[in-house]
Each structure stands twice: as C-alpha cells, then as structure tokens.
Amino acid sequence: GQNIDQPTEMTATEGAIVQINCTYQTSGFNGLFWYQQHAGEAPTFLSYNVLDGLEEKGRFSSFLSRSKGYSYLLLKELQMKDSASYLCAVLDSNYQLIWGAGTKLIIKP
C-alpha cells in the first residue's frame, strides 16, 4: 500500500530551527508538496520538490531525496505564528496526491 509517515507532534522554541521529516512509500513519484495548516483554517501551499536537493524560500526550506523516499521541511528563526500543522503530500504515478496525517508544530516562547 501507499504510505506517508510524519511525526505527529513536535515542539520547538521561538527563534530556533526545526526540521520536520516525511518518509514515503508510494507507487511512483511525481513530486512532493508541503502545506501549512493553522488550526481551524485551510491548508496553504508552502513548497513543491520534484528533483533531489534543497529548495529555499525565505525562512522555509524543503529537501528531497528520491532514492531514500525522504523529505524534510526546515523552518528557521521560528516565530509564534509558525505554530501550525505541516502536511506532506506525494504525487504518485497516477498523479493522485497521497497525504500524510500532518505534524503539529508547537512553538514555545
């Protein structure tokens, strides 16, 4: 079967750096997405990786290793507003999105 694994919850301190991991086992691969979802709100797009390597976008970076079935989202200079759930999703060989259950990130002052 197809599977996306992410930690259920993580805690970090304001101003610090946190890495949220995502491992996947899917039938084929056509890209990996990260979305941010604040409590009670809609998910919003953060990043898309289809080639191996690191994509940097301001305080957020996303890394992909296709051979390892692994990605991470790196958040730097954490702010209280970064408290949210982070969703990893993989586009499989049929161009269907497979979603992880999400990682709830708690930021403490």
Partner 1 sequence: DAEITQSPRHKITETGRQVTLACHQTWNHNNMFWYRQDLGHGLRLIHYSYGVQDTNKGEVSDGYSVSRSNTEDLPLTLESAASSQTSVYFCASSEGTGDTGELFFGEGSRLTVL
Q: Does residue 106 touch partner 1 according to CB under 8 A?
A: no
Q: Does residue 101 touch partner 1 according to CB under 8 A?
A: yes
Taking the complex as a whole, how short is the minimal distance between the CB of residue 69 and partner 1, in angstroms?
16
**Token pair recorded at residue 46:** 């953060």
Stretch that binds partner 1, among 51-59, 62-70, 76-84, 97-105 (CB under 8 A): 97-105
3-state secondary structure the chain: CCEEECCCEEEEECCCCEEEEEEEECCCCCCEEEEEECCCCCCEEEEEECCCEEEEECCEEEEEECCCCEEEEEECCCCHHHCEEEEEEEECCCCCEEECCCEEEEEEC
Q: Which residues on adjacent β-strands are paired with residue 88? A: 34
Q: Does residue 22 touch partner 1 according to CB under 8 A?
A: no
Q: Does residue 21 touch partner 1 according to CB under 8 A?
A: no
Q: Does residue 95 touch partner 1 according to CB under 8 A?
A: yes
Q: Of residues 33-92, which lie at the interface with partner 1 (CB under 8 A)?
A: 33, 35, 40-45, 48, 87, 89, 91
Q: Which residues bind partner 1 (CB under 8 A)?
A: 4, 30-31, 33, 35, 40-45, 48, 87, 89, 91, 95-102
